[in-house]
């Protein structure tokens, strides 16, 4: 498995485990929120996470061949709660589809988002 990490102030976010610092040794089978986000947006975008604040907020940056497509702060509550994480991912997909002018994708994502509420 490819290990993707972001360093800031000598803290490590391990994308394969979603943990600060050392790898997850619990073996509980829960998918890392960072890996989940990466899986959704790669290979179309380069995904970068950086720790922004001591409260656990993360800056997500998605870049493609044209440059930065999205920069979004993710609160610790958003990346720790599965429902909020799903809403965040849907919101990002919707924003990207609007930017690309893909109307059919926007309609599908809007319907999916309505079902999550």
Q: What is the pLDDT of residue 13?
A: 43
Q: What is the pLDDT of residue 106?
A: 61
Q: What is the pLDDT of residue 1?
A: 25
CB atoms within 10 A of CB 26: 9
Residue ranges making up the domain that contains 60? 5-116
Mapping DSSP onto H, E and C, the string for 86-115 reads HHHHHHHHHHHHHHHCCHHHHHHHHHHHHH
Query: How many structural domains is the chain composed of?
Result: 1
List of the chain residues with pLDDT < 50? 1-28
Which residues have CB under 8 Å from 112's CB, separation 6+?
A: 90
Count how many residues are written for the chain.
117
Q: What is the pLDDT of residue 54?
A: 86
- Please tell me the pTM assigned to this model: 0.64
């Amino acid at each position: 498995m490819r290990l993707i990490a972001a360093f800031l102030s000598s803290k490590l976010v391990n994308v394969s485990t979603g943990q600060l610092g050392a790898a997850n040794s619990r073996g509980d089978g829960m998918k890392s929120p960072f890996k989940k986000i990466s899986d959704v947006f790669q290979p179309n975008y380069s995904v970068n996470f950086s720790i922004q604040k001591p409260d656990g907020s993360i800056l997500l940056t998605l870049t493609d061949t044209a440059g930065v497509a999205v920069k979004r702060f993710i609160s610790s509550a958003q990346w720790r709660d599965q429902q909020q994480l799903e809403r965040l991912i849907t919101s990002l997909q919707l924003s990207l589809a609007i930017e690309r002018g893909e109307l059919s994708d926007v309609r599908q994502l809007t319907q999916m988002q309505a079902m999550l509420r």
